[in-house]
């Protein structure tokens, strides 16, 4: 117990010593009472800044320059800049505010605050060539803040620690870490080569992804979008140490080729060469940045799905849009339901909308289990769905009996094999459509 009391007393004395030191130093260095009001240290419109130089006493000097509206790293070596990271740095520097004005007049000894030889200097250059130099010194004894001054300004400020972190950036912090730097909004083509097969994806007139090669077929648009997103999100590990870099290179060199990805936008084509290492991880070389980089395994697996893995298995494309007309011909019977306002009609009679919705749900869920080369014979069921205010009309024919059912979409050569249970569910929903209950008076 006495030992714990001694520790507590020691801690209190240490805290008091810091406060006394701070108080004495303030009295020695400041003839006038310091202001406790916050103040703007720098206030420059961001669009007027053309160059930012971050000089670190313990490391490299990083230079950002604005070229054609885009930030680029020009030192310590030319690199693509992460536009968000660069803009964040510029924004933080251009509107830097203090937590406190510690001295209104120059203190007697700047070295006590780490400002005689600042640990970080941020030099902002405007369009007019004039410069503002932010000097960051030591951490304040109270913690959570740092001493700062602006060259040519007699005052000494403190800024919050997060503001110091926002300014103290290296080239590695600011560089574009993406393995592929394409513009997703301007992407026109994606090409995958894996397992001896090349797939090419392109956009149709509806701006929907289609498989162009090895043969024109419908693509699973959501899956292609996910592939594009993962390719755009693939980044180098900026914190990778020497051993990690060496391990990635060994994994790539000793691994088996998994695939090649090429993406094309308005700026040109970029390439990613992917190998799968003995450790089951994927490693890639990019045409955009140097080195070998470890890939997310989910992305690696997406590269080797093959043609059938990216094909659209749905028989209908109307998705979650609301159809305006549904037609079913099964044997000698025909059902036609049309939307009129909020009502569904069979001819002139209203039908129960929930029962028609059940049919629509079954049609929406019709999917292929695989894509056989043949099997479709004489159609026994004809389906038609009209959607998008009559702009999209899809027709599907079903052929088969028992457990073997096949489907074809109008004007498409592909054959879809369909599970017999899905046909049974569709037929049950169709025959369950009933008239709407009489309206209550």
Domain-wise residue ranges, the chain? 30-174, 184-310, 325-431
Q: Which residues contact 233 (CB under 8 A, 6 or more apart)?
A: 178
Q: How far is CA 318 from CA 173, 202, 388, in A?
A: 45, 20, 8
Terminal-residue alpha carbon distance, the chain: 86
Q: Is the pLDDT of residue 374 over 50?
A: yes
pLDDT per position as a tens digit, 30-71: 434 444 455 789 999 999 999 999 999 988 899 999 998 999
Please provide the average confidence, as pLDDT, over all residues in the chain: 89
On the question of pLDDT at 272 being above 60, the answer is yes
Strands 197-203 and 268-276 come out as unpaired
Whether the predicted pLDDT of 422 surpasses 70: yes
pLDDT digits 0-9 by tens, 4-24:
443 344 443 444 343 344 444
Task: Please give the residue that has the higher pLDDT: either 37 or 404.
Answer: 404
Task: Check: CB of residue 422 under 8 Å from CB of residue 430.
Answer: no
Q: Tell me the pTM.
A: 0.77
The first and second tokens of residue 421, run together, are 């249970």
Of 104, 102, 167, 131, the closest CA to residue 44 belongs to 131
Tens digits of residue pLDDT in 185-225 = 899 999 999 989 999 999 988 888 999 999 999 999 999 99
**pLDDT score for 8:** 42
Three-class DSSP labels, the chain? CHHHHHHHHHHHHHHHHHHHHHHHHHHHHCCCCCCCCCCECCCCCHHHEEEEEEEECCCCEEEEEEECCEEEEEECCCEEECHHHHHHHHHHHHCCECCEEEECCCCCCHHHHCCCCCCEEEEEEECCCCEEEEEEEEECCCCCEEEEEECCCCCEEEEEHHHHHHHCCCHHHHECCECCCCCHHHCCEEEEEECCEEEEEEECCCCCEEEEECCCEEECHHHHHHHHHHHHHCECCCCCCHHHHHHHHHHHHHCEEEEEEEEEECCEEEEEEEEECCCCCEEEEECCCCCEEEECHHHHHHCCCHHHHHECCECCCCCCCCCCEEEEEECCEEEEEEEECCEEEECCEEECHHHHHHHHHHHHHCEEEECCCCCCCCCCEEEEEEECCCCEEEEEEEEEECCEEEEEECCCCCCEEECHHHHHHHHHHHHCCCECCCCCC
Average pLDDT in the 287-295 region? Answer: 93
């Amino acid at each position: 117990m006495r030992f714990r009391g001694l520790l507590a007393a020691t801690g209190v004395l240490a805290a008091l010593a810091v406060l006394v030191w701070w108080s004495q130093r303030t009295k020695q260095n400041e003839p006038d009472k310091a202001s406790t009001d916050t103040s703007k240290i720098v206030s420059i419109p961001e669009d007027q800044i053309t160059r930012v130089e971050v000089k670190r006493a313990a490391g490299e000097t990083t230079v950002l320059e604005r070229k054609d509206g885009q930030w680029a790293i020009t030192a310590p070596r030319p690199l693509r800049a992460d536009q968000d990271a660069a803009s964040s740095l510029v924004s933080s520097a251009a509107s830097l505010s203090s937590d406190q004005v510690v001295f209104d007049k120059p203190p007697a000894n700047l070295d006590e605050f780490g400002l005689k030889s600042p640990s970080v200097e941020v030099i902002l250059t405007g369009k007019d060539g004039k410069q503002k130099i932010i000097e960051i010194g030591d951490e304040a004894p109270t913690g959570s803040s740092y001493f700062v001054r602006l060259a040519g300004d007699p005052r000494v400020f403190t800024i919050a620690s997060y503001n110091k972190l926002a300014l103290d950036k290296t080239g590695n912090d600011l560089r574009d870490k993406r393995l592929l730097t394409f513009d997703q909004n301007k992407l026109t083509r994606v090409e995958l080569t894996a397992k001896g097969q090349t797939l090419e994806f392109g956009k149709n007139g509806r701006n929907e992804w289609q498989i162009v090669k090895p043969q024109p077929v419908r693509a699973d648009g959501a899956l292609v979008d996910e592939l594009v997103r993962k390719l755009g999100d693939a980044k180098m590990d900026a914190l990778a140490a020497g051993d990690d870099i060496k391990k990635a290179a060994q994994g790539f060199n000793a691994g088996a080729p998994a695939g090649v990805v090429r993406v094309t936008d308005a700026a040109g084509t970029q390439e990613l060469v992917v190998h799968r290492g003995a450790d089951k991880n994927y490693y890639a070389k990019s045409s955009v940045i140097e080195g070998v980089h470890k890939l997310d395994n989910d992305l690696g697996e997406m590269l080797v799905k093959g043609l059938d893995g990216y094909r659209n298995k749905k028989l209908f494309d109307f998705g979650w849009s609301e159809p305006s007309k549904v037609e079913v011909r099964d044997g000698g019977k025909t059902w036609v339901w049309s939307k009129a306002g909020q009502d569904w009609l069979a001819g002139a009679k209203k039908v129960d909308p929930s029962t028609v919705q059940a049919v629509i749900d079954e049609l929406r869920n019709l999917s292929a289990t695989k894509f056989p080369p043949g099997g479709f014979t004489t159609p026994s069921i004809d389906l038609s769905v009209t959607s998008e205010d009559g702009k999209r009309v899809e027709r599907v024919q079903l052929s088969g009996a028992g457990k073997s059912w096949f489907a074809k979409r109008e004007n498409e050569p592909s054959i879809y094999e369909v599970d017999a249970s899905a046909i049974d569910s569709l037929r049950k929903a169709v025959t369950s459509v009933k008239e709407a209950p009489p309206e209550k008076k």
